[in-house]
């Protein structure tokens, strides 16, 4: 049985900021607060007779697709049940079918644009049928119990949304039991501190979701922190000269960096997953732990003006072609930081 994050924070009060991080908010129950898009709105498509209504009703929030003109129009309506994405770049949404299958809704929300057609859907047909497979949920949730026989059927009880404390620290029930007893000793941990793992195992923990696509070897959600990732999933291994999408395989991009090759850095060298950390200066300060601003080739001409801007030059925001949507016949792609740390011209 998965634990509530509240149980962890009741003792580890310094980590309450985790509840506002993108990891924690990567999936949530659908509600007025978690859905960012404006309701009582309409999304038109490139097909003149197809549009979607975004509706707030007394019994929930719904997407209704309408095709054709009255009296011959047909429509499909489904509820927002689960929100996927923190909203920093955007969100997409899932609905439960009557037989406990999860499907993606055809309208998503891009923070910079508004309502758009969901990635994976076309915008010329009335369609609510894109299945949500376990590998998708394995990165955007902490636990779902698949039901055998249908690829996108799950038990509706016991699932855990967001990236929970236990995803990175392992099962916590024994840890709580040991440290809650009257005679508890500080040495009784029964929990994983990822910082004490080998570099390889730390990278594996992040690589489960940031290592690109692969072929599963074990059931979904069976990977536990400290495991060897290759025992659970065979990730695609790009050739050294193979171009990589900035979103598709962030781990492989990082591993091409001289900073990674010539040091013992891991993902947590730069990323503190316990607090929101999205400002350019946060990451540039990490660079300054090993580098001096005077060593930059631009220092001679720009001086201290370049301080705090390392990542804008050496990990630039670039368009991803792995995830895209369409809006008014325009292809929309997100910008993601390229994790190949190097000099970009």
Contact, 214 vs 194, CB < 8 A?
Answer: no
| Average pLDDT value for residue range 38-46 | 94
84/80 Cα distance (integer angstroms)? 11
pTM of the model: 0.92
- The verdict on residue 239 lying in a domain is no
| Average pLDDT value for residue range 296-316 | 91
Q: Which residues contact 332 (CB under 8 A, 6 or more apart)?
A: 110, 113, 116, 324, 325, 326
- The verdict on residue 305 lying in a domain is yes
- The verdict on residue 183 lying in a domain is no
CA neighbours closer than 13 Å in the CB half-sphere of residue 254: 22
34/345 Cα distance (integer angstroms)? 39
| Cα pseudo-dihedral 154, 156, 158, 160, rounded to 10 | 80
- The verdict on residue 343 lying in a domain is yes
- Which residues share a beta bridge with 109? 91, 115
Provide the mean pLDDT of the chain: 91
pLDDT attached to residue 40: 95
- The verdict on residue 286 lying in a domain is yes
Question: pLDDT for 233-246, tens place per residue?
Answer: 999 889 988 999 99
- The verdict on residue 30 lying in a domain is yes
CB count in 10 Å sphere of residue 111: 15
pLDDT attached to residue 308: 87
- Which residues share a beta bridge with 78? 63
What is the residue range of 320's domain? 265-345
Question: pLDDT for 243-258, tens place per residue?
Answer: 999 988 999 999 999 9
- The verdict on residue 218 lying in a domain is no
| Average pLDDT value for residue range 313-330 | 85
Of 146, 162, 178, the one marking the end of a domain is 162
In three-state secondary structure terms, 180 is helix
- The verdict on residue 6 lying in a domain is no
Of 123, 139, 162, the one marking the end of a domain is 162
171/166 Cα distance (integer angstroms)? 5
Tally the domains of the chain. 2
Of 162, 193, 219, the one marking the end of a domain is 162
Would you say how long the chain is, in residues? 345
Residues 28 and 157 grouped into a single domain: yes
Question: pLDDT for 65-86, tens place per residue?
Answer: 999 998 999 999 999 999 999 9
Question: pLDDT for 169-179, tens place per residue?
Answer: 999 988 888 88
Under the banding of pLDDT at 50, 70 and 90, the label for residue 280 is low
232/280 Cα distance (integer angstroms)? 34
Contact, 55 vs 61, CB < 8 A?
Answer: yes
């Amino acid at each position: 049985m998965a634990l509530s994050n509240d149980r962890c924070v009741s003792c580890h009060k310094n980590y309450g900021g985790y509840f506002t991080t993108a990891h924690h908010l990567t999936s949530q129950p659908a509600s007025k607060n978690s859905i960012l898009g404006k309701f009582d709105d309409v999304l038109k498509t490139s097909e003149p007779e197809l549009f979607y209504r975004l509706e707030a009703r007394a019994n929930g929030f719904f997407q209704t697709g309408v095709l054709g003109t009255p009296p011959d129009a047909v429509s499909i309506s489904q509820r927002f049940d689960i929100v996927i994405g923190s909203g920093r770049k955007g969100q997409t949404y899932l609905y439960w079918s009557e037989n406990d299958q999860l499907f993606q809704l055809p309208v998503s929300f891009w923070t910079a644009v508004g309502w758009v057609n969901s990635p994976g859907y076309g915008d010329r047909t009335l369609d609510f049928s894109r299945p949500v497979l376990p590998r998708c949920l394995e990165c955007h949730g902490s636990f779902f119990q698949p039901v055998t026989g249908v690829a996108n059927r799950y038990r509706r009880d016991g699932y855990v949304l967001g990236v929970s404390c236990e995803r990175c620290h392992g099962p916590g029930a024994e840890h709580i039991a040991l440290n809650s007893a009257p005679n508890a000793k500080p040495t009784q941990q029964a929990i994983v501190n990822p910082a004490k793992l080998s570099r390889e195992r730390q990278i594996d923990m992040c690589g489960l979701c940031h290592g690109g696509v692969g072929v599963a070897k074990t059931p979904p959600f069976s990977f536990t922190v400290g495991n060897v990732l290759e025992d659970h999933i065979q990730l695609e291994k790009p050739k050294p000269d193979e171009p990589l999408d900035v979103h598709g395989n962030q781990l492989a991009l990082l591993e091409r960096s001289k900073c990674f090759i010539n040091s013992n850095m891991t993902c947590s060298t730069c990323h503190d997953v316990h607090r929101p950390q999205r400002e350019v200066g946060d990451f540039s300060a990490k660079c300054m732990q090993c580098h001096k601003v005077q060593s930059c080739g631009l220092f001679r001409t720009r001086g201290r003006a370049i301080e705090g801007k390392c990542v804008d030059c050496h990990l630039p925001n670039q368009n991803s072609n792995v995830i895209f949507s369409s809006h008014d016949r325009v292809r929309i792609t997100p910008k993601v930081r390229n994790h190949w740390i190097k000099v970009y011209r």
